[in-house]
Amino acid sequence: MSQPALLSDVGKVLIDFDFSIAARRLAEQCDHPAETVLTLFDDIKGPYEDGRMDDATFVREAMAVTGFRGTKDEFEAIWCDIFAQNEPMHATLGALQGKLPMYLLSNTSGLHKDYFLRTFDIFRHFRGGVYSYSAGCSKPGEAIFHHTIRQLEIDPARTFYIDDLQPNIETAARLGFRTFHYSFAKHPRLQEELDEWLAAQGIG
| Cα→Cα distances 116→56, 88, 111, 112, 142, Å | 18, 17, 9, 6, 25
Nearer to Mg ion, 112 or 147 (CB): 112
- Segment contacting Mg ion by CB under 5 A, of 14-22, 27-35, 158-166, 175-183: 158-166
Residue 45 is a binding residue for Mg ion (CB under 5 A): no
Phi, psi of 164 (to 5 degrees): -95, -10
- Segment contacting Mg ion by CB under 5 A, of 20-28, 35-43, 70-78, 160-168: 160-168
Report the nearest approach of Mg ion to the CB of residue 203 (Å). 25
Report the nearest approach of Mg ion to the CB of residue 107 (Å). 8
Nearer to Mg ion, 9 or 76 (CB): 9
Residue 49 is a binding residue for Mg ion (CB under 5 A): no
Residue 129 is a binding residue for Mg ion (CB under 5 A): no
- Segment contacting Mg ion by CB under 5 A, of 3-11, 54-62, 94-102, 122-130: 3-11
Task: Give the binding-site size for Mg ion (rule: CB under 5 A).
Answer: 4
Q: Both ends of the chain: CA-CA distance in Å? A: 20
Nearest residue to 85 via CA among 11, 183, 167 = 11
Report d(CA 123, CA 9) in Å as an integer. Answer: 12
Report d(CA 166, CA 170) in Å as an integer. Answer: 6
Residue 9 is a binding residue for Mg ion (CB under 5 A): yes
Report d(CA 46, CA 25) in Å as an integer. Answer: 22
Classify burial at 82, counting beta carbons within 10 Å of its beta carbon; exposed 0-12, middle 13-18, buried 19 or more. buried
| Residue nearest Mg ion by beta-carbon distance | 11
Residue 11 is a binding residue for Mg ion (CB under 5 A): yes
Q: Which residues are near Mg ion by CB under 5 A?
A: 9, 11-12, 164
